[in-house]
Structure 1
């Protein structure tokens, strides 16, 4: 047996040892086998994007209030935080296909129930349940992709997964133009998209793999190893949670039309797809901390300018495109930066820890943004987006001045990381690093 590029022990026959279950079953058919899985995920993400957009608009139209709307939308991220471990339990008990079918059915049912009980307490409960189901779906799909992955195609699988999740989310947000949030149509359509996602999975001949979960790394140890990665992940979570959670609420409160709201939300995710790879390529050729500093500072500056621009104007949409292209890649940069410093044996646990830290930030973001808008003015939404990026740039700037970084040729390869990926996607990280070291990284470095 030999250690593979992501820290698992790989046997001669292709099996993998690691995590709670140690035997890996027969692999699927590589990228071809992943198509059905990714097609189903694209439909689910479209339904998810549509639901988030329509609920934000409907909450504002129903007079929930900005603070209450923020708390309601944060329910999704609470459920997401809680759902991963629950899904791992059921995957080990009944298998991937059954879990995927059950959770997609739950998510579909929850989507269509919102217009039946239009009140904040009911919607909080429904959002938490939907978040639980989505977390389980992510875990299931990512575990499946892990089994299909090899050392030669993991990078492509992760890139395809990013395109599918962000692209599907963007398409779903644009579907807000297809109906009135006050009617049943959009809720039914969201439910139908999630239900139809079962078709390519059920008809696929791909065998379901065993569960291989990353072992946890204590948060205190993770902070000691890579404080810059932890802080960047947490602050990125605040920004992403605020943008995806209450972006539609803000836009509706400013009186934007449904078409403008859809564009306002979707251009940010399109920006993420356009800028993630170029920013990642730059981070492979220069100090990654410097790239994080510049990107975070740019995101803070763009958000500050947007607070002074007329909502819904062409300029505001262009700036939102640039903002999405700077804020969303920060999560991928944090994951890759962590991989620069953490020994390969701890990479899985470290990345899983960053997923949880980002999830906590994503819960805080919508609540803080909603409360800030309610207490002051709607454009305080952008001030909330400025703050976490300013914190990142200040902290990283201080660390660059105080601590010497590693050589560029010792950095790991950049990995494009989907915004709400679960810890299961850890094993799709592109490895090995440019400078290979046997049994992890040699020597002991200071934390960065």
Structure 2
């Protein structure tokens, strides 16, 4: 599996650049005097590109192949970040964020389908777990690079571009070309709602909350009184918490009704956010601890939502359903920064943790209500939770393909009513 490790190394470097650029652009937009609502819209552009990519990239892959598309899109992402220095304008930055989202999603699609081809049914789960950890660690580590140069300088933008370019090297020198990714069959939101209302609400709601967190979190932290160095720690501890809590929460949901686990972690994340309201700028350490707990409880909810949806799907439905979940999460994430910025503009900085708390509490309440509507799947009907990084869109498809393989031949109950 030496070739798989070269791919993982390349993705680690790319994620360092990705983690740095998101926080950098958010802080730089504030320094350039962008209004909060404008900054929110600009940051939403990335997620719109993420949603658009699966409809665009496969056509190019079918025409010229994975390697060329991967190299072109990674180069495009490397160039796009530099263009933010040349044209400091909200409209231009929104367009550039859209292009970046589309380019990086194309990189994910290529790399993850290639990685999937390197694994068999016995090694795939472990390999993608390692991939998830590397993604999260790279994304978290990129935030610490924020301390290498002043935010108002051009050097950090160049650093992101260098990381994107260097990350290409081990991937392009890997020994095999990735096969074409499977294209999901279409499943509409109406059908998805009929099959798994809680899955749809969880994936969409967590998209709103986490899109707002990643897009506007650095600006909130600065307004709260944190230094740039502490902002990098703030963003990193959320991701570290998510990585550490992912496995135990997933295992717990394999042993009991996932809806109970979803409700518990949702209310727990809401409580951690609410407690921030009682803290002031002088309680910086407490705020970091609370957001570590928030990330630990909130980030695994993406995997829980996908796993809960899987529990009610037939194997032949899973790839199509994953496409609908991807779209729902992307739309929620696109709404998140814009919605959060407008709320912060009108209600102040403490509206940020309150918004996060309300979003998670709503998911928890909906989970409790769904428990009154139909019984939980039996242990035989539930598939295992796959650790899925929400920022990596195509991994949803791949993880559900794994679940489908594991559950072939089993009778999976179709719900009689929504």
1:242 lines up with 2:212 in the alignment: yes
- Alignment check: 8 A CA contact 1:233 1:354 kept: yes
1:251 lines up with 2:211 in the alignment: no
- Alignment check: 8 A CA contact 2:67 2:177 kept: no
Q: Which of these residues, 248, 252, 256, is aligned with residue 286 of structure 1?
A: 256
2:334 paired residue number: 363
1:72 lines up with 2:42 in the alignment: yes
How far residue 446 of structure 1 moved from its aligned partner, in angstroms, is: 3.4
Write the distance in 1 (CA, Å) between the matches of 2:408 and 2:26.
49
Write the distance in 2 (CA, Å) between the matches of 1:271 and 1:404.
31
1:43 lines up with 2:43 in the alignment: no
Compared CA separation, residues 433 and 395, structure 1 to 2 (3 A): farther
Compared CA separation, residues 344 and 447, structure 1 to 2 (3 A): farther
Q: Which of these residues, 120, 125, 129, is aligned with residue 159 of structure 1?
A: 129
Deviations 1:318-363 (A, max 9, x none): 1111111111100000111111111111011112211110000001
How far residue 386 of structure 1 moved from its aligned partner, in angstroms, is: 1.2
1:110 paired residue number: 80
Q: Equivalent residues in 2 for 1:307-386 (5 A)? A: 307-311=277-281, 313-386=284-357
Write the distance in 1 (CA, Å) between the matches of 2:349 and 2:311.
40
Q: Comparing both structures, which one devotes a greater share of its residues to helix?
A: 2
How far residue 97 of structure 1 moved from its aligned partner, in angstroms, is: 1.0
1:387 lines up with 2:321 in the alignment: no
Write the distance in 1 (CA, Å) between the matches of 2:116 and 2:68.
18
1:221 paired residue number: 191
Q: Which of these residues, 153, 164, 174, is aligned with residue 194 of structure 1?
A: 164
Deviations 1:109-168 (A, max 9, x none): 111121222221121111111111111111111221221221111111221221121111
1:431 lines up with 2:403 in the alignment: yes
2:149 paired residue number: 179
1:274 lines up with 2:241 in the alignment: no
- Alignment check: 8 A CA contact 2:218 2:231 kept: yes
Q: Which of these residues, 138, 146, 169, is aligned with residue 116 of structure 2?
A: 146
How far residue 92 of structure 1 moved from its aligned partner, in angstroms, is: 1.0
Write the distance in 1 (CA, Å) between the matches of 2:16 and 2:408.
42
Q: Which of these residues, 363, 381, 387, is aligned with residue 416 of structure 1?
A: 387
Write the distance in 2 (CA, Å) between the matches of 1:87 and 1:44.
19
Write the distance in 2 (CA, Å) between the matches of 1:360 and 1:443.
29
Number of residue equivalences: 416
- Alignment check: 8 A CA contact 2:212 2:336 kept: yes
Q: TM-score, normalised by structure 2?
A: 0.96
Deviations 1:407-435 (A, max 9, x none): 2343111110111222454233443698x
Tell me how large the CA RMSD over aligned residues is: 1.7
Compared CA separation, residues 296 and 147, structure 1 to 2 (3 A): same
Compared CA separation, residues 156 and 224, structure 1 to 2 (3 A): same
Write the distance in 2 (CA, Å) between the matches of 1:316 and 1:298.
15
How far residue 192 of structure 1 moved from its aligned partner, in angstroms, is: 0.3
1:58 paired residue number: 28
1:10 paired residue number: none
Deviations 1:287-337 (A, max 9, x none): 111101111111111111112222471010011111111111000001111
How far residue 206 of structure 1 moved from its aligned partner, in angstroms, is: 2.1
